[in-house]
């Protein structure tokens, strides 16, 4: 069971997080704190911990020392930051300060759980809405950034491409997608057939050459 530490100074947001994570069998909140000192003290303790979730709002937008300090204390610990800021340069600073992911405070349960699992497995994450907004607002089209694939793929298929390229097995992918191993194997087989290749190595090569994975 994943052990989670939460640092959030806004009580209403803290309660929102508690509600989203309530009743989840794969994780538990081991500690919540509304102060930087509480956050740092727990990180310095020897208490087992799998991920830290920290709120970040406009009142703290110019100070990220609490995040950098956390990374120095536990370099291997994934840190997921949650806030109401959507300015690209400020979000970039969050990652430079040691965060593994950034999500908006309005995030729903499914995306939050996906982000937690993804970070714990060594990935990075940013709220899907921020990614969508970036491409909507950019003057440069996606086709100028990435090679064009010869087929259309759904969001679920693209997520599967990425998970496979990350080296995850069917069970691990199933845990992320909240699906059974058999369902993932069926989807993998369908993707192989759609692409027209026989094995996973060829599938990954296809996805990489067409910019479908990072």
- Cα separation, 37 vs 133, in Å, equals 35
Record: fold of 142-209: Arc Repressor Mutant, subunit A (1.10.10)
In a 13 Å sphere around the CA of 65, the CA atoms on its Cβ side amount to 3
- Cα separation, 191 vs 49, in Å, equals 36
User: Tens of pLDDT along 89-121?
Assistant: 788 888 888 999 999 888 888 889 999 999 998
CATH number of 2-136: 3.40.50.2300
Phi, psi of 199 (to 5 degrees): -140, 170
Give ranges for CATH 3.40.50.2300 in the chain.
2-136
pTM tops 0.75: no
Q: What is the CA radius of gyration of the chain?
A: 19
Give ranges for CATH 1.10.10.10 in the chain.
142-209
pLDDT of 141: 42
User: Tens of pLDDT along 135-158?
Assistant: 555 544 444 434 445 567 787 888
Neighbours of 174 (CB within 10 A): 19
CA angle (131, 174, 170) in 5-degree steps? 110
Whether pLDDT at 82 is above 60:
yes
Q: Taking a C-beta distance cutoff of 8 angstroms, is the pair 53, 80 a contact?
A: yes
3-state secondary structure of 112: helix
- Cα separation, 124 vs 92, in Å, equals 13
């Amino acid at each position: 069971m994943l052990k989670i530490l939460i640092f959030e100074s806004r009580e209403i947001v803290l309660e929102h997080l508690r509600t989203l994570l309530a009743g989840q069998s794969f994780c538990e909140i081991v500690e919540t704190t509304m102060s930087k000192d509480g956050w740092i003290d727990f990180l310095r303790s020897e208490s087992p911990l799998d991920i830290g979730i920290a709120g970040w709002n406009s009142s703290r937008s110019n100070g990220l020392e609490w995040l950098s300090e956390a990374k120095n204390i536990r370099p291997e610990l994934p840190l997921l930051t949650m806030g109401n800021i959507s300015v690209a340069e400020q979000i970039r600073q969050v990652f430079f300060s040691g965060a593994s992911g950034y999500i908006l405070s309005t995030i729903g349960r499914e995306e939050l759980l996906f982000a937690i699992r993804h970070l714990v497995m060594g990935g990075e994450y940013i709220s899907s809405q921020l990614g969508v907004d970036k491409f909507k607002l950019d003057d440069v089209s996606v086709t100028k950034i990435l090679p064009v694939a010869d087929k259309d793929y759904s969001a679920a298929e693209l997520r599967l491409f990425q998970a496979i390229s990350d080296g995850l097995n069917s069970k691990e992918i199933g845990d992320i997608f909240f699906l059974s191993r058999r369902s993932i194997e069926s989807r993998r087989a369908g993707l192989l057939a759609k692409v027209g290749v026989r094995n996973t190595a060829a599938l990954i090569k296809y996805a990489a050459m067409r910019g479908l994975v990072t």
